[in-house]
Amino acid sequence: MIHHWEGVVFIPRATLGDVLALLEDYNQHSTYYALDVERSKIESRQGDHFTVFLRFRRHKVITVVLNTEHEVQYFRDSSQRAHSRSSAVRISEVEDAGKSDEREKAPGNDNGFMWRMETWWRMEERDGGVYVQSEVVSLTRDIPTGLGWMVGPFVNSIPQESLAFTLGATRKAVVARTRK
């Protein structure tokens, strides 16, 4: 299944630098985007290129935990505009997350809640703030026959809900950081 969602939020009184500083602060994403992001860490950085680890947790009827690794590139288009692209290069479902016998399932030998993910951010400073657009395309496997009642709501609604949450949390975190 292909999930493709876009959303935009306006952050008044913010600058492009404020938004970029927050988005590039991957070590704090588990704070800015808590409950959806349980752990976050920059694994490497070379200029505007990042390799990051994110552990996603989502609960809706069932709880799914995913360990993911992303390659992220930022581009400064002008003093008022920037964009980025994030490609999930590894996605592993975590079985028994948080328990002593926690383990990652091998990619392809999991439930297929997220198979691939691409994310694009576009930012433009104008009108006294910053417009932030996020676009996410994710792939999930089809729902097995007989399990639709249980996992259908999860697979079908989570991408849209996650995007709405992420944009709202970005706005909230940028506003909080700029008030300090």
SS (H, E, C) 49-107: EEEEEEEEEEEECEEEEEEEEEEEEEEECCCCEEEEEEEEEEEEEEECCCCCCCEECCC
pLDDT of residue 79: 97
* pLDDT confidence of residue 55: 96
CATH assignment of 2-178? 3.30.530.20
User: Residue 142 has what pLDDT?
Assistant: 65
Task: Identify the pLDDT of residue 154.
Answer: 55
Residues 33, 169: contact at Cβ < 8 Å?
yes
**Positions in the chain whose pLDDT score sits under 50:** none
Predicted local distance difference test score (pLDDT) of residue 149: 53
**Residue 145: predicted pLDDT:** 56
